[in-house]
Amino acid sequence: MTVFHRRTLLGAFAAAALTTSAPAVLAQGDWPSHQPVTIIMTFNAGSGVDVVARLIQEPLSKLIGQTVIIDYKPGAAGNIASEYVARAKPDGYTLVFGTAATHGTNAALYPKLPFDVEKDFEAVAPVVDVSNVLTINPDVIKVNSLAEFVKEVKANPGKYNFASTGNGTGTHMAFAELNWRLGLDMVHVPYKGGPEAITSVLRGETCCIMNQVQTVLPHYKSGKLKLLAATTAKPIAAVPEVPPVAASGLPGTKGFDSAIWFGLWAPKGTPAPIVNKLNAAIQQVLHQPEIKKRLEDSGNSLRFETPEQFRKTVHENRLKSAEIVKAAKITIQ
DSSP letter for 236, please. Answer: B
Contact call for residues 10 and 124 (beta carbons, < 8 A): no
* pLDDT tens track for 87-117: 999 999 999 999 998 998 899 888 889 999 9
pLDDT at position 326:
87
- From CA 235, how far away is CA 135, in angstroms rounded? 15
Answer yes or no: is pLDDT of 39 > 50: yes
CA 87, 38, 118: angle at the middle one, nearest 5? 40
Answer yes or no: is pLDDT of 12 > 60: no
Task: Set out the domains of the chain in order of their start, with CATH numbers.
Answer: 14-129+260-327 (3.40.190.150), 132-248 (3.40.190.10)
Answer yes or no: is pLDDT of 2 > 50: no
Contact call for residues 239 and 233 (beta carbons, < 8 A): no
pLDDT at position 105:
87
Pairwise pLDDT comparison (210 vs 193), residue with the higher score? 210
Answer yes or no: is pLDDT of 24 > 50: no
Pairwise pLDDT comparison (243 vs 301), residue with the higher score? 243
pLDDT band at 26 (very low <50, low <70, confident <90, very high): very low
Contact call for residues 126 and 305 (beta carbons, < 8 A): yes
* pLDDT tens track for 168-202: 788 888 898 899 999 999 999 999 888 899 999 99
* pLDDT tens track for 141-151: 999 999 999 99
CA 193, 199, 201: angle at the middle one, nearest 5? 105
**To which H or E segment does residue 6 belong?**
none
What CA–CA distances, in Å, run from 252 to 42, 44, 177, 184? 32, 34, 10, 12
Answer yes or no: is pLDDT of 56 > 90: yes
CB neighbours of residue 35 within 10 Å: 11
Contact call for residues 26 and 277 (beta carbons, < 8 A): yes
Instruction: Give me the percent of the chain exceeding a pLDDT of 70.
Output: 91
- From CA 173, how far away is CA 170, in angstroms rounded? 5
Answer yes or no: is pLDDT of 292 > 50: yes
Answer yes or no: is pLDDT of 23 > 60: no
Q: For the chain, how far is it from start to end, CA to CA, in angstroms?
A: 30
**To which H or E segment does residue 234 belong?**
none
DSSP letter for 228, please. Answer: E
Going by DSSP bridges, is the β-strand pair 161-164/208-212 parallel, antiparallel, or unpaired?
A: parallel
pLDDT band at 306 (very low <50, low <70, confident <90, very high): very high
Long-range contacts of 153-161 (CB under 8 A, 24+ apart): 153/184, 153/185, 153/186, 154/183, 154/184, 154/185, 157/185, 158/185, 158/186, 158/187, 160/186, 160/187, 160/207, 160/208, 161/186, 161/187, 161/188, 161/189, 161/205, 161/206, 161/207
Distance of CA 94 to the CA centre of its chain: 19
Pairwise pLDDT comparison (330 vs 252), residue with the higher score? 252
Report the mean per-residue pLDDT for the chain.
Answer: 88
pLDDT at position 333:
56
pTM comes to 0.78
